């Protein structure tokens, strides 16, 4: 698992948003809006409730005025256009009033275990007012503007698992519907997306009266939810090695199952080729100002075009067509390889969808202090060989340090040789720690128990545990130097976001990106349709789910 590979991932049908939508579809979940207390300017509060897995969950949305100069996506922001909480059950008026005093303040508020997820969003300055204005005039928004931005609201944080007193993950971990990875977070974002559509139409109707029109279905479907993501997401991947292993293992297992199919059938071929064409159009609607990503998109578009000539009926008639396609793509860019992987998984839901159930396990393997120094050295040589050759005496090999700023506890990345604070760096220097453990182990007699070594060297306890975990979790570690001068955190962000199901990565630097969530996904009134799961690689020009 290398950074460059992770930084090329695309969402797949195992991504968490896809899993959630399939679950909602299977249950025929119908969203209700029991409270709509929003004024003509779009301020107030609303509640959406949805049944899932035998329970009801509710999004409480608060929309407030926000001066333009106070609008920022950074963690250091203190006010937002809208704030949200996913509530366990249906909130009473007292709950809504209580949370009114806390949710708009986000991190500065305090919460109870009935609150499952906390989030906030800002309007897209480029698009929100344009859409309101057009709808109020009885017109649809400019299609180019819609394609360019793709969302009305942009979330800037989605907090779960006990933050600020909200429910621990443990509360929902065993519940049908929310047991999978980040399902409560994904449900929250899907409900926020529905709110954003209702909100823009409501303001337009108040402004335009009888002249106003609702959004055309193709736009309702196309608008996703934007998201701004920075470094805060990166340490998660290093701090949850077992969980990350399970995500990667499910993905790799799915890919192996598909490649292992000796033949295929016309239905899968049609589906794959149709998606290949849709993906090419989708890539054409992928806008970014980032020079590196623009080059990659250009190459990807070209490579996908070349594949059109390869993917003939004869290709699929020969044995093991998917394995041969995999081998053919080895010569292409990693971005193209990963997109083809995502496309290959799409027609094989019957073969791979069960893997989604295995992705949320977080329990670490038991630590074994009875292994010998030589056993540990063997594990390091087997699983951490990638780290043992790095020359940390070279300054660039440890140029960077990860830290938590005292400013709203924002995770940041510093230059060890130019900035203060390296003595407080986070322990994300896995390669350096592994090397240090290796050197220590070599200095002890080979049959010494690890317990005795750690007694003398407690500084290695953390990495020793990680090394042991890789025996049963082969994908637990990112096999790159995360403090090296050439580390690109954006690769970590894209990896995690792709598992969420994010698309349209729009890097704003090497450590900050915009993305779009749920673009093309079914809305509240479409989730029970037979084709509700057909929204991979959406394009504005199409409507994958046509009216029944």
Partner 1 sequence: MHRSLNEIEKTLIKAGVGLGWPLGLAEETASAATWLVSQGRDGVAAALNALRAEFSKATAERTAHGWQIDPGPVVATGPTALDLLELASPIHLGHVDQPLLLAGLAAMRAPATGSIEILGQSGTPLFVCRDGLEGTAPHPGPIRLAPCPHQSSHTAGRGIAVDERHWSEAERLAALTYVPASDASRTAGAGAGAIDNE
The residues that touch partner 1, with contacts defined as CB under 8 A, are 68, 71-76, 110, 112-113, 122, 124-126, 161-170, 228, 230-231, 366-370, 403-407, 409-414, 419-421, 424, 427, 449-451, 454-456, 458-465, 489, 508-512
Nearer to partner 1, 68 or 391 (CB): 68
Two tokens, residue 179 = 């047991």
C-alpha closest to that of 9 among 496, 520, 511: 496
Nearest distance, CB of residue 90 and partner 1, angstroms: 21
Kindly state the helix (H) or strand (E) to which residue 224 belongs, with its residue range: strand 224-229
* CA–CA separation, 147 and 130 (whole Å): 13
Nearer to partner 1, 111 or 322 (CB): 111
Look at the alpha carbons of 8, 12, 14, 15 in this order and tell me if their dihedral is positive or negative: positive
Mode of pairing for the β-strands spanning 151-159 and 503-509:
unpaired
Nearer to partner 1, 6 or 24 (CB): 6
* CA–CA separation, 538 and 494 (whole Å): 18
Nearest distance, CB of residue 180 and partner 1, angstroms: 18
Nearest distance, CB of residue 423 and partner 1, angstroms: 9
Are residues 432 and 483 in contact, defined by beta-carbon separation less than 8 angstroms?
yes
Nearest distance, CB of residue 273 and partner 1, angstroms: 37
For the beta carbon of residue 534, count every other beta carbon within 10 angstroms.
17
Nearer to partner 1, 43 or 449 (CB): 449
Nearest distance, CB of residue 440 and partner 1, angstroms: 13
C-alpha closest to that of 132 among 197, 48, 69: 197
Nearest distance, CB of residue 113 and partner 1, angstroms: 7
Nearest distance, CB of residue 424 and partner 1, angstroms: 5
* CA–CA separation, 77 and 106 (whole Å): 10
Residue with tokens 């080059």: 295
Half-sphere exposure (CA, 13 Å, Cβ side) for 282? 24
Nearest distance, CB of residue 145 and partner 1, angstroms: 12
Nearer to partner 1, 49 or 227 (CB): 227
Nearer to partner 1, 162 or 284 (CB): 162
Nearest distance, CB of residue 310 and partner 1, angstroms: 39
If you write DSSP's letter for every residue of 443-503 in order, what string do you get?
TS-TT-BHHHHHHH-GGGHHHHHHHHHTTT-TTSS--S-TTSTT--HHHHHHHHHHHHT-E
Nearest distance, CB of residue 91 and partner 1, angstroms: 18
Nearer to partner 1, 308 or 472 (CB): 472
* CA–CA separation, 257 and 380 (whole Å): 29
**96 CB contacts (<8 Å, ≥6 apart)?**
35, 45, 47, 60
256 alpha carbon, distance to own chain's centre: 23
* CA–CA separation, 146 and 287 (whole Å): 11
**141 CB contacts (<8 Å, ≥6 apart)?**
127, 130, 131, 134, 135, 215, 219
Look at the alpha carbons of 30, 139, 62, 180 in this order and tell me if their dihedral is positive or negative: positive
Mode of pairing for the β-strands spanning 82-88 and 115-123:
antiparallel
Nearer to partner 1, 458 or 541 (CB): 458
Nearer to partner 1, 105 or 508 (CB): 508
Nearer to partner 1, 168 or 528 (CB): 168
224 alpha carbon, distance to own chain's centre: 14
Are residues 215 and 135 in contact, defined by beta-carbon separation less than 8 angstroms?
yes
Q: Classify burial at 317, counting beta carbons within 10 Å of its beta carbon; exposed 0-12, middle 13-18, buried 19 or more.
A: exposed
Nearest distance, CB of residue 317 and partner 1, angstroms: 49
Nearest distance, CB of residue 36 and partner 1, angstroms: 28
Nearest distance, CB of residue 312 and partner 1, angstroms: 44
Nearer to partner 1, 80 or 272 (CB): 80
* CA–CA separation, 33 and 47 (whole Å): 6
Nearer to partner 1, 26 or 409 (CB): 409
Q: At what angle do helices 291-310 and 334-345 cross, to 10 degrees?
A: 60
Nearer to partner 1, 38 or 371 (CB): 371
């Amino acid at each position: 698992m290398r950074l460059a590979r992770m930084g090329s991932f695309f969402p797949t049908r195992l991504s968490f948003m896809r899993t959630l939508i399939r679950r909602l579809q299977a249950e025929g979940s119908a969203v209700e809006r029991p409270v709509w207390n929003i004024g003509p300017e779009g301020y107030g509060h609303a509640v959406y409730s949805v049944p899932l897995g035998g329970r009801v969950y509710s999004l409480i949305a608060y929309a407030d005025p926000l001066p333009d100069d106070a609008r920022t996506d950074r963690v250091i922001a203190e006010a937002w256009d809208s704030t949200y909480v996913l509530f366990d059950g249906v909130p009473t008026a007292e709950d809504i009033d209580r949370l009114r005093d806390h949710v708009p303040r986000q991190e500065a508020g305090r919460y109870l275990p009935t609150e499952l997820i906390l989030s906030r969003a800002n309007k897209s300055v480029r698009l929100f007012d344009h859409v309101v204005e057009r709808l109020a005039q009885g017109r649809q928004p400019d299609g180019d503007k819609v394609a360019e931005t793709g969302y009305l609201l942009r979330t800037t944080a989605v907090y779960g698992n006990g933050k600020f007193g909200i429910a621990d993950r443990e509360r929902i971990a065993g519940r049908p519907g929310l047991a999978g990875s980040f399902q409560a977070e994904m449900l929250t974002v899907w409900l926020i997306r529905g709110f954003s559509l209702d909100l823009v139409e409501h303001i337009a109707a108040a402004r335009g009266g009888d002249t106003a029109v609702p959004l055309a279905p193709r736009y309702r479907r196309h608008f996703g939810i934007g998201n701004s993501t920075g470094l805060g997401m990166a340490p998660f991947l290093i701090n949850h090695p077992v969980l990350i292993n399970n995500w990667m293992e499910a993905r790799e297992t799915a890919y192996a199952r598909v490649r292992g199919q000796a033949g295929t059938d016309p239905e899968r071929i049609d589906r794959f080729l149709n998606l290949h064409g849709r993906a090419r159009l989708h890539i054409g609607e992928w806008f970014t100002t980032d020079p590196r990503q623009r080059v990659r998109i250009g190459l990807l578009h070209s490579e996908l075009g070349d594949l059109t000539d390869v993917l003939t009926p004869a290709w699929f008639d020969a044995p093991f067509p998917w394995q041969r396609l995999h081998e053919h793509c080895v010569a292409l860019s990693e971005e193209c390889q990963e997109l083809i992987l995502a496309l290959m998984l799409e027609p094989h839901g019957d073969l791979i969808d069960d893997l989604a159930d295995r992705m949320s396990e977080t329990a670490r393997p038991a630590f074994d202090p009875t292994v010998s120094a030589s056993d540990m050295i063997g594990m390091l040589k087997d699983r951490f060989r990638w780290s043992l050759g790095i020359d940390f005496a070279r300054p660039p090999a440890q140029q960077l340090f990860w830290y938590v700023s005292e400013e709203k506890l924002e995770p940041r990345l510093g230059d060890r040789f130019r900035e203060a604070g390296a003595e407080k760096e986070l322990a994300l220097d896995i390669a350096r720690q592994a090397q240090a453990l290796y050197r220590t182990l070599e200095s002890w007699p080979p049959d010494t128990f690890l317990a005795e070594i750690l007694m003398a060297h407690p500084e290695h306890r953390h990495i020793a545990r990680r090394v042991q975990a890789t025996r049963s979790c082969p994908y637990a570690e990112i096999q790159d130097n995360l403090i090296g001068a050439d580390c690109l955190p954006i690769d970590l962000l894209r990896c995690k976001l792709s598992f969420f199901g994010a698309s349209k990565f729009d890097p704003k630097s090497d450590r900050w990106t915009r993305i779009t969530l749920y673009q093309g996904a079914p809305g509240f009134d479409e989730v029970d349709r037979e084709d509700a799961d057909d929204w991979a690689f959406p394009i504005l020009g199409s409507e994958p789910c046509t009216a029944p």
